[in-house]
Amino acid sequence: MPMSSKLKSVAATLLKLLIAFVIAYFIFRKLNASLSETAKALAHANFPLMSLGILLIIIALLIVMVVWRKILSDIYRFKLSVPQALILQSMPNIAKYIPGKIWFIFAQVYLAKEFGVNSVSIVVTTLISQMILITSAIFAGFLLVDFAKTPLFSIWGVIFLVVLIVILLKPRILHKIIELGLKIMKKKLEVKPPKMKLWTLLYSLVVCVAVWIIIGIGITLCAASVFGFDMYSNTPEITGAFCISYVVGYISFFAPAGIGIREGVMVLLLPPNLSTLQSSVISLGSRLWITIAEIIFYGLIFLLYLRMGISKKAMISLDKTKN
């Protein structure tokens, strides 16, 4: 890549990050939120209770892998081992912190080839599971957040939800889109168009709603570690606010992992009985707590990946010795 193209790419990335942080800054400024007070409150948290909340978030990440593996098995009849599924589904998510939502797909394709699995089936399964996650997040958000504060979401959210459900019921649509892309790249499609059972769709949606509720409880536990057990009464509203803010952050392509956007939207959606400091700590803390959970979870999976790679090399060496 020429130097000028690299500079343009870096400049575009920095500009996207700047836009995200400027939006978040003005939202927090409007609420008169003090970052120093927020940091001080987080520093004096009950860390054992916070650790329990982070553990719940890690469990939720693990359940997402279970859903992904179930979908792959149902529509393509591929039965991956749990370690393979963990690596293929979870490890590429590290790339979500790069601006743009496609980098984790490239990482997944690379890993699929390394494991000798058809990359198209992995990508289609990932896209379907992501849409199920977004659909369930919208549903949980509508169910739990204060509707009076989200009139626009009640209109556009339902339209978005209907479109997603149609695509989920017809995963062949995604398959056709990928097939067209491969034809442009002059590559052959080696997997037949998938069919998803209604039971698998319903199971995945219900489990993913449970995932968001578990994450919401985890965030509330972390918030309670800072502000005390009174936070538990706000669990539904905190969960709903996080779900909707996650969706908004997800569709904001200019912000890596929705940084800035998600926190700003969450502050606006949290219940009015919370103080400005509490709203600031919960919104910014949710990013911190989830990031810690992801670092632990993805770090363990990376170690698993390295161990599997070492075992694979050992097997190859053993085969060569026998021959």
Looking at residue 229, what is its pLDDT? 87
Looking at residue 242, what is its pLDDT? 94
Q: How far apart are CA 298 and CA 65, in angstroms?
A: 12
* Residue range 142-187, pLDDT digits in tens: 888 775 455 445 556 566 666 666 666 666 676 676 667 666 655 5
User: Cβ–Cβ contacts within 10 Å for residue 274, how many?
Assistant: 20
Looking at residue 149, what is its pLDDT? 53
Looking at residue 16, what is its pLDDT? 57
Cα separations in angstroms, 103 against 4, 19, 97, 175, 305: 21, 20, 9, 19, 19
Contacts (Cβ under 8 Å, ≥6 apart) of 284: 35, 38, 42, 263
Looking at residue 37, what is its pLDDT? 74
Looking at residue 318, what is its pLDDT? 35
pLDDT-based confidence at 10, cuts 50/70/90?
A: low
Integer-rounded Cα radius of gyration of the chain:
21
- Name the region of 108 (left: φ>0; alpha: ψ -120 to 50; beta: rest): alpha
pTM above 0.95, yes or no: no
Average pLDDT over residues 116-145: 85
Q: Which of 1-5, 101-105, 135-139, 303-307 has the least mean pLDDT?
A: 1-5
Q: Which of 57-66, 85-94, 198-207, 245-254 has the least mean pLDDT?
A: 245-254
Q: Which long-range contacts (CB under 8 A, 24 or more apart) does 27-36 make?
A: 27/264, 27/267, 27/268, 28/264, 28/267, 28/280, 31/267, 31/276, 31/279, 31/280, 32/276, 33/267, 33/276, 33/277, 33/279, 33/280, 34/277, 34/280, 35/280, 35/284
> In the chain, at which residue ranges do the beta strands (DSSP E only) sit?
none
Contacts (Cβ under 8 Å, ≥6 apart) of 110: none
Indicate whether 62 pLDDT > 80: yes
Q: Are 59 and 210 in contact (CB under 8 A)?
A: no
Q: Which of 57-66, 146-155, 202-211 has the least mean pLDDT?
A: 146-155
Indicate whether 273 pLDDT > 80: yes
The two tokens of residue 113 are: 């080839």
Average pLDDT over residues 211-237: 93
Residue spans of the domains in the chain: they are 37-318
Q: Which long-range contacts (CB under 8 A, 24 or more apart) does 303-310 make?
A: 304/83, 304/86, 304/87, 305/87, 305/91, 308/83, 308/87
Q: How far apart are CA 269 and CA 287, in angstroms?
A: 15
pLDDT-based confidence at 315, cuts 50/70/90?
A: very low
Q: Are 177 and 127 in contact (CB under 8 A)?
A: no
Q: How far apart are CA 185 and CA 317, in angstroms?
A: 36
The two tokens of residue 59 are: 């469990």
Q: Which phi and psi (to 5°) does residue 117 adopt?
A: -105, 145
Looking at residue 322, what is its pLDDT? 44
Q: Are 240 and 269 in contact (CB under 8 A)?
A: yes
Q: Are 64 and 129 in contact (CB under 8 A)?
A: yes
Looking at residue 91, what is its pLDDT? 80
The two tokens of residue 150 are: 């989200």
* pLDDT top residue among 99 and 251: 251
The two tokens of residue 91 are: 């490890």
To the nearest 10°, report the CA torsion of 132, 134, 138, 143: 60
